[in-house]
Amino acid sequence: MTGNPILLLLVLGPMAAGIVSYLIGRRNKALRDGFAIAVTSAEAVVMLLLVLMGGEVSLSVPGVCGMGLSFQLDGFRGVFATVTAYMWMMTTIFSREYLAHSRNRNRYYLFLLMTFGATMGVFLSDDLFTTFVFFELMSMASYVTVIHDEKPETLYAGGVYLAVAVIGGLVALMGIFMLYSVTGTLQLSELLAACQAAFPGNEAWFYVLGGCILFGFGAKAGMYPLHVWLPMAHPVAPAPASALLSGIITKSGIFGVLVLCTRIFAENAYWGFVILLLGVVTMLLGGLLAIFSLDLKRTLACSSMSQLGFIFVGMGMMDLLGEENALAVRGTLLHMFNHSNLKLVLFMAAGVVVMNLHKLDLNDIRGFGRKKPLLCYVFLMGSLGIGGIPLFNGYISKTLIHESIVEYIELLEEGHSVVSFAAANSATLFHVIEWLFIITGAMTVAYMTKLFVVLFAEKNRDRAVQASFEANTHYCNKATAAVLAVSATVLTILGVLPYLTLNKIADLGQGFLNGVSPKHAVNYFSLTNLKGGLYSIVIGAAIYLLVIRLGMRVKQPDRTYVYVNRWPKHLDLLELVYRPLVLGLLPTVAGFLCRCLDYVLDGLVLLGRKTTHKQLREGHLLPKGFELAYVVGSLLDGVVALLNATFCKRNPIQADFVRFFADQSRIYEETKREVMSGVSFSLMMFGVGIMVVVIYLLVV
């Protein structure tokens, strides 16, 4: 092991702490909660100190899993490792009250800390193999936090989450192996030069392997069309886990896509254009789903999908702009950072609602936030930030991404042929993309206005219920209130002081993305930049009034209104495409191919038996069973024949040991097949395999 071992401690420390917390929890639950909070807080403090100290720290652990592990702490990794530790600290404190009356808390804290260490491993990784190892560990561990309450709908959503993670991981691994075979390295510091040298002559291979890696990491990042797990997993998971899923675990997928865009396809316009189009579809579809959602946490989950689409748009512009990508780089990095902090605030605020009401339907929770100033402040800060309202943090990052699109349009209109194919050289197309960007921002304003009005402006249809809502002034304890207030205030500081906060963060992290500072300082609050935000606000208000207020509310006989679901049920990608494909079409096609292969093999066997492998005469056929059964049986039959000819002439022994051992061999084979086809045997062998790997790693 060479380098600074503190990086290994940052990764493996939380995992070991998870086991310790489980053991503590069997004796003292309060001590376990405090221990988990102490671990996450200590990690957050250490990460903040390392970032403030500056410099780069690296670590190499050779021999592990064959290829070894390598870690690096630099500006970009430092920012997101710190955000990871900060979010885990806040959600762990929040979990103490949120799960106070929940079962399986020992298991929850164990896998919460396991996921923490694995996520730190992803962001601190310095080669794609290390990234993949901890990416898969993170996926497996986070699954347990998603299915915490074990309700049928939770297990179903968790199954979808796990299926996407496993399938995506296997496809990504295939792409990583292909990349290694072409370049001979997976080190992030070496990939850019290696890919630029190997790309000519291997273009097809690069696009295939890039598609495989994008499939795996894009699925975790909620990219269309692999987003299906995201609107399902968030509503059923505990609110602290939802905050982590949306705020930081999706960013681990973004991390993998960033490696593609900055190390493998750097300044590749074809690749950038594909990422851009996928980002546009993702942000638009997420916005539409959020507008029509009637579930509080599902709306926030669809919002996450939409905001991740904004990030993909920024990544696409990074590659399209090439050396002029300063705005796109900074906008992408800052929207990743801002979205993490925004979803921490919004999901914890939603968690307070769930913690008190155990309901998510907008009609049921309507009016809960009235006369609750702290909750109103927290939710308002998150809503204004994610809506891109000026003086709030989301406005800064969205403005930078929007200006990168405008910059590209100006280059095209000036006659610069930025790329070598017509589609991406169409200024008209990018004018359309710019307006889709603004309209999606307007959708964000509309659905966040919907949530805020439902919680804090409207009253519940049942007056008694509304009275109980307003009388409930002790809706969270002091620790939860402090976490909510601090995390919401951070958003305000970031938005009001962007030059002192967000610009410094962008300066710190842009090197990893091959970015440089803009030639001219960006005036975030100039009239030109404010105009884009104003368009989103005006269009968003129109969408809220026309679509939500008029189209999604129905007047009841008692003159009250209820929200109704207007989204067509048949427009469900999971039920419409993926389930029939995975559970219907693929097994049918595979069965058909196997049957055809079976017929072909049977025909070849028959042909061989009639020609080159004719059977011996009946008297020379070998009995069924192992050859060992025939040999041992024949020897014993010979002994019996000798005994019958000498000592046992009067009472000869009647036995056929060849047939006896053949029958026993057949019974053994049938029993073995039944055992090995069972789930229990599979799980047992899986466990044995893990034990062997762990022992190997410890010894070697």
Tens digit of pLDDT for each residue in 248-263?
988 999 999 999 988 8
116-125, 157-166, 529-538: range with lowest mean pLDDT: 157-166
| pLDDT for the residue 66 | 72
Grouping H, G, I as helix, E, B as strand and the rest as coil, residue 2 is strand
DSSP state for residue 237 in the 8-state scheme: S
Q: Is the pLDDT of residue 421 over 80?
A: no
Residues sharing a CB contact under 8 Å with residue 667, sequence separation 6 or more, in sequence order:
none
- What's the rounded Cα separation, in Å, for the pair 661 and 663? 5
The average pLDDT across 109-116 equals 92
DSSP state for residue 424 in the 8-state scheme: G
Burial pattern 7-20, b for ≥16 Cβ within 10 A else e, equals bbebbebbbebbee
DSSP state for residue 458 in the 8-state scheme: S
Residue 415 falls in which region: left (phi positive, over 0), alpha (psi -120 to 50) or beta: left
Rounded (5°) CA angle 85-87-91: 120
Q: Is the pLDDT of residue 697 over 50?
A: no
| pLDDT for the residue 612 | 60
Q: Is the pLDDT of residue 271 over 70?
A: yes
Q: Is the pLDDT of residue 405 over 60?
A: yes
Q: Which long-range contacts (CB under 8 A, 24 or more apart) does 203-206 make?
A: 205/178, 206/182, 206/264, 206/265
- What's the rounded Cα separation, in Å, for the pair 517 and 503? 10
Q: 346 burial class (0-12, 13-18, 19+ CB within 10 angstroms)? A: buried
Q: Which two tokens stand for residue 474?
A: 């002790």
Tens digit of pLDDT for each residue in 474-491?
888 899 999 999 999 999
Q: Which amino acid is at 136?
A: E
Q: Is the pLDDT of residue 525 over 90?
A: no
Tens digit of pLDDT for each residue in 638-656?
887 887 777 777 778 777 7
Q: How many CA atoms lie within 13 A of 248 on its CB side?
A: 32
Q: Is the pLDDT of residue 357 over 60?
A: yes
pLDDT band at 385 (very low <50, low <70, confident <90, very high): very high
Tens digit of pLDDT for each residue in 14-47?
999 999 999 998 888 889 989 999 999 999 999 9
Q: Which two tokens stand for residue 36?
A: 């988990």
| pLDDT for the residue 511 | 86
- What's the rounded Cα separation, in Å, for the pair 217 and 134? 13
The average pLDDT across 336-356 equals 92
Residues sharing a CB contact under 8 Å with residue 42, sequence separation 6 or more, in sequence order:
none
| pLDDT for the residue 338 | 93
pLDDT band at 416 (very low <50, low <70, confident <90, very high): low
Chain centre distance of CA 157: 14
| pLDDT for the residue 617 | 41
Q: Return the CA Rg of the chain.
A: 31
361-375, 560-574, 602-616, 649-663: range with lowest mean pLDDT: 602-616
Question: What mean pLDDT is reported for the chain?
Answer: 83
- What's the rounded Cα separation, in Å, for the pair 289 and 549? 16
- What's the rounded Cα separation, in Å, for the pair 318 and 259? 12
The average pLDDT across 140-164 equals 83
DSSP state for residue 309 in the 8-state scheme: H
Residue 433 and residue 405 in contact, taking contact as beta carbons nearer than 8 Å: yes
% of the chain beyond a pLDDT of 70: 87
| pLDDT for the residue 378 | 94
| pLDDT for the residue 652 | 80
Tens digit of pLDDT for each residue in 194-213?
888 888 878 888 899 999 99
Closest CA to 58 of 121, 119, 4, 133: 4
Closest CA to 299 of 218, 373, 353: 353
Q: Which amino acid is at 437?
A: F
Residue with tokens 């005994």: 643
Residue with tokens 């694995």: 118
Q: Is the pLDDT of residue 551 over 60?
A: yes
What does each C-alpha distance from 24 to 4, 30, 114 come to in angstroms? 30, 9, 16
Spatial strand order of the sheet with 57-61 comes to 2-3, 57-61, 69-73
% of the chain beyond a pLDDT of 90: 29
Closest CA to 317 of 427, 202, 404: 404
How many residues are there in the chain? 700
Instruction: Enumerate the domain spans of the chain.
Output: 158-563, 629-700
- What's the rounded Cα separation, in Å, for the pair 12 and 62? 16
Residue 257 and residue 312 in contact, taking contact as beta carbons nearer than 8 Å: yes
Q: Is the pLDDT of residue 418 over 70?
A: no
Q: Which two tokens stand for residue 428?
A: 């008209």
Grouping H, G, I as helix, E, B as strand and the rest as coil, residue 143 is helix
pLDDT band at 227 (very low <50, low <70, confident <90, very high): confident
| pLDDT for the residue 151 | 83
φ, ψ dihedrals at 636, nearest 5°: -70, -40
Q: Is the pLDDT of residue 584 over 70?
A: no
| pLDDT for the residue 538 | 92
Tens digit of pLDDT for each residue in 78-94?
999 999 999 999 999 99
Most confident of 117-121, 156-160, 191-195, 461-465: 117-121
For residue 185, count other CB atoms closer than 10 A to its CB. Answer: 17
Q: Characterize the bridge pairing of strands 69-73 and 57-61.
A: antiparallel
Tens digit of pLDDT for each residue in 609-637?
666 655 444 444 444 445 666 777 778 87
DSSP state for residue 575 in the 8-state scheme: I
- What's the rounded Cα separation, in Å, for the pair 198 and 181? 11
Q: Is the pLDDT of residue 229 over 70?
A: yes
